[in-house]
Structure 1
Amino acid sequence: MKKVLIVDDHPVIRAAVKIILKQENVNVIYEASNGVDAVQIVREHLPDLVILDLVMPGLDGLDVLARIKAAHVNVRTLVFTSQDPSFYLNRCMRAGALAYVAKVNHLQELQKAIHAVMSGYTYYPRLPASSVSLDSLQRNERQMIDKLSDRELTIFLCLAQGMSNKEIAATMMLSHKTVSTYKTRLIEKLNVPSAVCLRELAKRNHLI
């Protein structure tokens, strides 16, 4: 392993990951706090491994994965995030991520994932076999959420966290009108009476 890029908007997380990488004798470590810088560093420096959060200002992690995949560069990606894998794991796998580690795990789990990816293997969490424990309402909600596009899911979470259209537009580098269109579409797709109900839906499904 020669070069690693850490992409996370929290300096404390980046510092913790750097400690692990230095224990692994990685000396060339790049850092990015947003998706735009991450994509630029990947193109300029072609790191061997990208350790990527999913929730960031500007381009989020799913956008970064899509752009790395579209660029056809030989870069391995490991997702290290607080997002629920039951909603994000398959999306990340389709986008080319070779590993998925939740931040709630001990950092040794991240270290194991790094070893696996750099040895040519994948490292994914084992998800529950079925949703038997979920009631019919939640099963239906999860099916609707799974059908959202990556961009729709990201905006859904922003709205659920109480961000205004203006804030989302600025964060994701979209027009106010585009965000408003997504908002209307989400209300229809998730079958809720208003945007206010999006927060409860997200909380009920452990997305926030």
Structure 2
Amino acid sequence: MKSALIADDHPVVLGALKILLTQEGFQPIFEASKGNEVIPMIREHQPKVVVLDLDMPEMPGLDVLDRIYANEMQCQVVVFTSLERIYYQERCMRAGASAYVSKSNDLQHLQKALRAVMNGYTYFQSLPSVALSSLQLSEKQMIESLSNRELTICRYLAHGMSNKAIAELMHLSHKTVSTYKTRLTEKLNVESKVHLRDFAKRNHLI
């Protein structure tokens, strides 16, 4: 029997994924609705595949992915997320994920990814080679220069979260978050939280 773990906090998505995984022969299927639950559940259940959302409460999916491979856990990770592929797919590849599927795609893409991964292959779609304006290219390079944690905090700030709320969510000190915020305004060349939100919306980060 091949087991699986779904890490996603949306009940509708969980239900659809359980049906798909069952059809693909996975049993038992475990569920984690918070990022900080994933590593303990992998240790306990040792699933063959983890279907991981990047936008998770308590611990961001990129941090989860880093910890899976830092701990040399023997599971294949299929990232299934709504976050923009152009900014996240390569990060996930570098972190050791075996596949990246956008939630905007038909579930058949996830089915193909699962089959590829279980047969020893990876599943990553080629990124669109669209012509970018000089502003878009410059901002894309700025985003690529961010660390995973900086990118996560950038999204939280753009969503309007306070430093205190981010600190509690990510188990960081208020001072650390404040430092990250200052670093982000410098790296992204924005003057305020309002401009940061505009930047994030313009680049489909939120």
What TM-score do the two structures reach when normalised by structure 1?
A: 0.96
Determine which of 174, 183, 190 is the counterpart of 1:192.
Answer: 190
SS at match of 1:27: strand
Hey, what's the Cα distance between the residues in 2 that align with 1:6 and 1:32?
6
Q: Is the 8 A contact 1:144 1:189 kept in 2?
A: yes
How many equivalent residue pairs?
A: 206
Match of 1:168 in 2: 166
In structure 1, runs of 5+ residues without a counterpart are none
The 5 A counterparts of 1:10-49 are 10-49=10-49
Hey, what's the Cα distance between the residues in 2 that align with 1:25 and 1:67?
27
Match of 1:63 in 2: 63
Q: Match for 2:180: what amino acid?
A: Y
SS at match of 1:86: helix
Hey, what's the Cα distance between the residues in 1 that align with 2:89 and 2:26?
27
The 5 A counterparts of 1:102-141 are 102-129=102-129, 131-132=130-131, 134-141=132-139
The 5 A counterparts of 1:73-152 are 73-129=73-129, 131-132=130-131, 134-152=132-150
In structure 2, runs of 5+ residues without a counterpart are none
Displacement of 1:195 after TM fit? 2.1
Q: Is the 8 A contact 1:80 1:100 kept in 2?
A: yes
Deviations 1:153-201 (A, max 9, x none): 0000011111111221122121211111111110011111122211110
Hey, what's the Cα distance between the residues in 2 that align with 1:93 and 1:21?
22
SS at match of 2:26: coil
SS at match of 1:97: coil
Q: Match for 1:142: what amino acid?
A: K
Q: Is the 8 A contact 1:183 1:195 kept in 2?
A: no
Displacement of 1:45 after TM fit? 1.7
What TM-score do the two structures reach when normalised by structure 2?
A: 0.97
Q: Is the 8 A contact 1:160 1:199 kept in 2?
A: yes
Aligned sequence identity (%)? 60
Displacement of 1:25 after TM fit? 2.2
Hey, what's the Cα distance between the residues in 2 that align with 1:16 and 1:173?
31
